[in-house]
Protein backbone atom coordinates (compact mmCIF):
# COMPACT_ATOMS: atom_id res chain seq x y z
CA UNK A 1 0.00 0.00 0.00
CA UNK A 2 1.07 3.54 -0.81
CA UNK A 3 1.44 5.44 2.49
CA UNK A 4 1.10 8.84 0.77
CA UNK A 5 -2.56 8.23 -0.19
CA UNK A 6 -2.65 10.83 -3.01
CA UNK A 7 -6.22 11.95 -3.79
CA UNK A 8 -5.97 12.15 -7.57
CA UNK A 9 -6.53 9.00 -9.63
CA UNK A 10 -5.16 9.46 -13.15
CA UNK A 11 -7.21 7.63 -15.79
CA UNK A 12 -4.72 5.85 -18.06
CA UNK A 13 -6.90 6.11 -21.15
CA UNK A 14 -4.23 4.99 -23.59
CA UNK A 15 -4.62 2.34 -26.32
CA UNK A 16 -1.58 0.33 -25.27
CA UNK A 17 1.06 -0.23 -22.63
CA UNK A 18 3.84 1.58 -24.51
CA UNK A 19 2.02 4.94 -24.44
CA UNK A 20 0.87 4.28 -20.87
CA UNK A 21 4.38 3.46 -19.61
CA UNK A 22 5.89 6.49 -21.36
CA UNK A 23 3.40 8.63 -19.46
CA UNK A 24 3.79 6.82 -16.12
CA UNK A 25 7.57 7.32 -16.32
CA UNK A 26 6.94 11.04 -15.73
CA UNK A 27 5.03 10.35 -12.50
CA UNK A 28 5.65 9.11 -9.02
CA UNK A 29 3.38 7.03 -6.71
CA UNK A 30 3.40 9.84 -4.14
CA UNK A 31 1.73 12.16 -6.70
CA UNK A 32 -1.24 10.09 -7.86
CA UNK A 33 -2.99 6.77 -8.10
CA UNK A 34 -3.69 5.18 -11.50
CA UNK A 35 -6.90 3.91 -13.08
CA UNK A 36 -6.89 1.10 -15.63
CA UNK A 37 -10.12 0.71 -17.59
CA UNK A 38 -11.53 -1.65 -20.22
CA UNK A 39 -9.43 -0.48 -23.16
CA UNK A 40 -6.04 -0.91 -21.60
CA UNK A 41 -7.01 -4.04 -19.67
CA UNK A 42 -8.40 -5.77 -22.75
CA UNK A 43 -5.30 -4.77 -24.73
CA UNK A 44 -2.62 -5.56 -22.16
CA UNK A 45 -4.13 -7.86 -19.51
CA UNK A 46 -3.36 -8.52 -15.86
CA UNK A 47 0.43 -8.51 -16.30
CA UNK A 48 0.29 -4.83 -17.17
CA UNK A 49 -1.68 -4.12 -13.98
CA UNK A 50 0.79 -6.09 -11.87
CA UNK A 51 3.67 -4.09 -13.36
CA UNK A 52 2.03 -0.82 -12.26
CA UNK A 53 1.44 -2.27 -8.78
CA UNK A 54 5.08 -3.38 -8.74
CA UNK A 55 6.16 0.21 -9.42
CA UNK A 56 4.45 1.19 -6.15
CA UNK A 57 1.21 2.67 -7.53
CA UNK A 58 -2.23 2.28 -5.97
CA UNK A 59 -4.25 0.98 -8.93
CA UNK A 60 -8.00 1.34 -9.40
CA UNK A 61 -9.02 -1.51 -11.72
CA UNK A 62 -12.17 -0.03 -13.28
CA UNK A 63 -13.88 -3.08 -14.79
CA UNK A 64 -17.41 -2.51 -13.41
CA UNK A 65 -18.32 -6.16 -12.85
CA UNK A 66 -22.02 -7.03 -13.31
CA UNK A 67 -23.12 -10.68 -13.43
CA UNK A 68 -24.56 -13.37 -11.19
CA UNK A 69 -23.18 -13.27 -7.60
CA UNK A 70 -20.88 -16.29 -7.97
CA UNK A 71 -19.29 -15.01 -11.18
CA UNK A 72 -18.74 -11.50 -9.82
CA UNK A 73 -17.31 -12.85 -6.58
CA UNK A 74 -14.82 -14.98 -8.52
CA UNK A 75 -13.79 -12.04 -10.70
CA UNK A 76 -13.30 -9.82 -7.63
CA UNK A 77 -11.18 -12.48 -5.96
CA UNK A 78 -8.91 -12.76 -9.00
CA UNK A 79 -8.72 -8.96 -9.41
CA UNK A 80 -7.78 -8.57 -5.78
CA UNK A 81 -5.02 -11.12 -6.29
CA UNK A 82 -3.34 -8.65 -8.68
CA UNK A 83 -2.63 -6.43 -5.69
CA UNK A 84 -4.85 -3.55 -6.82
CA UNK A 85 -6.05 -0.86 -4.41
CA UNK A 86 -9.64 -0.51 -5.67
CA UNK A 87 -12.16 -2.42 -7.83
CA UNK A 88 -15.79 -1.77 -8.71
CA UNK A 89 -19.08 -3.48 -9.52
CA UNK A 90 -22.45 -2.24 -10.82
CA UNK A 91 -24.89 -1.67 -7.94
CA UNK A 92 -27.69 -2.70 -10.33
CA UNK A 93 -26.43 -6.27 -9.89
CA UNK A 94 -28.26 -6.11 -6.57
CA UNK A 95 -27.59 -6.75 -2.93
CA UNK A 96 -26.72 -10.45 -3.16
CA UNK A 97 -24.21 -9.77 -5.91
CA UNK A 98 -22.55 -6.95 -3.95
CA UNK A 99 -22.48 -9.00 -0.74
CA UNK A 100 -20.86 -11.88 -2.61
CA UNK A 101 -18.24 -9.49 -4.00
CA UNK A 102 -17.56 -8.09 -0.53
CA UNK A 103 -17.30 -11.57 0.96
CA UNK A 104 -14.91 -12.68 -1.79
CA UNK A 105 -12.32 -10.03 -0.93
CA UNK A 106 -12.97 -9.70 2.82
CA UNK A 107 -10.08 -11.87 3.96
CA UNK A 108 -7.44 -10.75 1.49
CA UNK A 109 -3.95 -10.10 2.77
CA UNK A 110 -4.20 -6.48 1.63
CA UNK A 111 -7.32 -4.37 2.29
CA UNK A 112 -8.93 -3.65 -1.07
CA UNK A 113 -11.53 -0.92 -1.63
CA UNK A 114 -14.70 -2.19 -3.27
CA UNK A 115 -16.96 0.50 -4.70
CA UNK A 116 -20.12 0.64 -6.82
CA UNK A 117 -21.19 2.33 -10.00
CA UNK A 118 -24.79 3.49 -9.46
CA UNK A 119 -26.33 5.16 -12.52
CA UNK A 120 -23.91 5.81 -15.37
CA UNK A 121 -23.48 9.57 -15.73
CA UNK A 122 -24.12 9.13 -19.46
CA UNK A 123 -27.76 8.28 -18.58
CA UNK A 124 -30.42 10.92 -18.04
CA UNK A 125 -33.97 10.77 -16.67
CA UNK A 126 -35.35 9.64 -20.05
CA UNK A 127 -32.91 6.71 -20.19
CA UNK A 128 -33.91 5.67 -16.67
CA UNK A 129 -37.59 5.87 -17.57
CA UNK A 130 -37.01 3.66 -20.60
CA UNK A 131 -35.81 0.96 -18.19
CA UNK A 132 -39.20 1.23 -16.42
CA UNK A 133 -37.52 2.56 -13.29
CA UNK A 134 -39.89 5.07 -11.67
CA UNK A 135 -37.29 7.52 -10.32
CA UNK A 136 -35.09 10.33 -11.54
CA UNK A 137 -31.49 9.47 -12.37
CA UNK A 138 -30.35 11.29 -9.23
CA UNK A 139 -32.83 9.52 -6.92
CA UNK A 140 -31.96 6.17 -8.47
CA UNK A 141 -28.24 6.87 -7.96
CA UNK A 142 -28.87 7.71 -4.30
CA UNK A 143 -31.04 4.63 -3.82
CA UNK A 144 -28.40 2.37 -5.36
CA UNK A 145 -25.66 4.01 -3.27
CA UNK A 146 -27.58 3.08 -0.13
CA UNK A 147 -27.98 -0.49 -1.36
CA UNK A 148 -24.20 -0.54 -1.89
CA UNK A 149 -23.68 0.78 1.62
CA UNK A 150 -26.03 -1.84 3.10
CA UNK A 151 -24.14 -4.52 1.17
CA UNK A 152 -20.90 -3.51 2.87
CA UNK A 153 -19.25 -1.66 0.00
CA UNK A 154 -16.79 1.16 0.65
CA UNK A 155 -18.27 3.84 -1.58
CA UNK A 156 -19.40 4.88 -5.03
CA UNK A 157 -18.31 6.53 -8.24
CA UNK A 158 -20.43 9.66 -8.57
CA UNK A 159 -20.47 13.24 -9.77
CA UNK A 160 -18.92 15.69 -7.31
CA UNK A 161 -22.31 17.40 -7.41
CA UNK A 162 -23.82 14.30 -5.74
CA UNK A 163 -20.97 13.65 -3.29
CA UNK A 164 -22.46 15.47 -0.31
CA UNK A 165 -25.86 13.80 -0.75
CA UNK A 166 -24.10 10.39 -0.90
CA UNK A 167 -22.38 11.15 2.40
CA UNK A 168 -25.54 12.55 4.04
CA UNK A 169 -27.30 9.28 3.20
CA UNK A 170 -24.51 6.78 3.90
CA UNK A 171 -22.17 8.48 6.34
CA UNK A 172 -18.96 10.48 6.08
CA UNK A 173 -16.80 7.37 5.76
CA UNK A 174 -18.59 6.27 2.57
CA UNK A 175 -16.10 7.03 -0.20
CA UNK A 176 -16.95 9.27 -3.13
CA UNK A 177 -14.79 8.87 -6.24
CA UNK A 178 -15.58 11.61 -8.73
CA UNK A 179 -14.80 11.93 -12.46
CA UNK A 180 -15.76 14.96 -14.59
CA UNK A 181 -13.01 17.12 -13.08
CA UNK A 182 -11.58 20.08 -14.98
CA UNK A 183 -9.10 22.61 -13.55
CA UNK A 184 -9.96 26.23 -14.34
CA UNK A 185 -9.22 27.06 -17.98
CA UNK A 186 -8.79 23.45 -19.18
CA UNK A 187 -10.65 21.90 -22.12
CA UNK A 188 -14.09 20.51 -21.19
CA UNK A 189 -13.87 17.73 -23.82
CA UNK A 190 -16.96 15.49 -23.85
CA UNK A 191 -17.71 15.88 -20.12
CA UNK A 192 -20.98 17.72 -19.52
CA UNK A 193 -21.21 18.52 -15.82
CA UNK A 194 -17.70 19.53 -14.83
CA UNK A 195 -16.37 20.65 -11.46
CA UNK A 196 -12.97 22.16 -10.61
CA UNK A 197 -10.65 20.14 -8.31
CA UNK A 198 -10.97 22.77 -5.60
CA UNK A 199 -14.78 22.70 -5.68
CA UNK A 200 -14.89 18.89 -5.88
CA UNK A 201 -13.02 18.55 -2.56
CA UNK A 202 -15.22 21.26 -1.01
CA UNK A 203 -18.30 19.33 -2.23
CA UNK A 204 -17.18 16.17 -0.40
CA UNK A 205 -15.19 14.22 -2.99
CA UNK A 206 -12.61 11.87 -1.46
CA UNK A 207 -10.78 10.97 -4.68
CA UNK A 208 -10.79 12.74 -8.05
CA UNK A 209 -10.57 10.77 -11.30
CA UNK A 210 -8.73 12.88 -13.87
CA UNK A 211 -7.86 11.83 -17.39
CA UNK A 212 -7.13 14.32 -20.16
CA UNK A 213 -6.45 17.37 -17.93
CA UNK A 214 -3.41 15.42 -16.69
CA UNK A 215 -2.53 13.08 -19.57
CA UNK A 216 -2.67 15.87 -22.18
CA UNK A 217 -1.00 18.53 -20.03
CA UNK A 218 2.37 19.97 -21.04
CA UNK A 219 3.47 19.40 -17.44
CA UNK A 220 1.38 16.63 -15.81
CA UNK A 221 3.38 16.77 -12.57
CA UNK A 222 2.63 20.48 -12.16
CA UNK A 223 -1.11 19.80 -12.61
CA UNK A 224 -1.01 17.02 -10.00
CA UNK A 225 0.92 19.16 -7.53
CA UNK A 226 -1.56 21.99 -7.92
CA UNK A 227 -4.55 19.67 -7.40
CA UNK A 228 -2.89 18.29 -4.26
CA UNK A 229 -2.89 21.77 -2.72
CA UNK A 230 -6.71 21.66 -2.66
CA UNK A 231 -7.12 18.25 -0.99
45/65 Cα distance (integer angstroms): 16
* Count of residues near ligand C5P by CB under 6 A: 14
Task: Kindly state whether residue 121 participates in binding ligand C5P, applying the rule CB under 6 A.
Answer: yes
Q: Residue 91 has what DSSP assignment?
A: G
Given 64, 129, 167, 184, the catalytic residue: 64
From the CB of 70, what's the least distance to ligand C5P, in Å? 26
Residue number, 76 or 119, with CB nearest to ligand C5P: 119
Nearer to ligand C5P, 73 or 210 (CB): 210
CA 100, distance to chain mean position in Å, is 20
Whats the size of the chain, residue-wise?
Answer: 231
Q: Is 64 a catalytic residue?
A: yes
Q: Using CB under 6 A, which residues numbered 18 to 77 contact ligand C5P?
A: 37
Q: Is 67 exposed, middle or buried (0-12, 13-18, 19+ CB in 10 A)?
A: middle
Residue 189 found at the interface with ligand C5P (CB under 6 A):
yes
Q: Residue 141 interacts with ligand C5P (CB under 6 A)?
A: no
Residue 109, class by beta-carbon neighbours within 10 Å (0-12 exposed, 13-18 middle, 19+ buried)? exposed
**Which stretch, 53-61, 88-96, 197-205, 210-218, contacts ligand C5P (CB under 6 A)?**
210-218
Amino acid sequence: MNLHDPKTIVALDFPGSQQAFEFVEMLDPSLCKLKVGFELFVAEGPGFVETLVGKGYDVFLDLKFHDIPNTVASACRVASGLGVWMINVHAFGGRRMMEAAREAVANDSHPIKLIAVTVLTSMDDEDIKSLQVQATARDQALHLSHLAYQSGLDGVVCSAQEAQAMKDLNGLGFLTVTPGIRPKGSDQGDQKRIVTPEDAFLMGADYLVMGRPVTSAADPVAVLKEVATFS
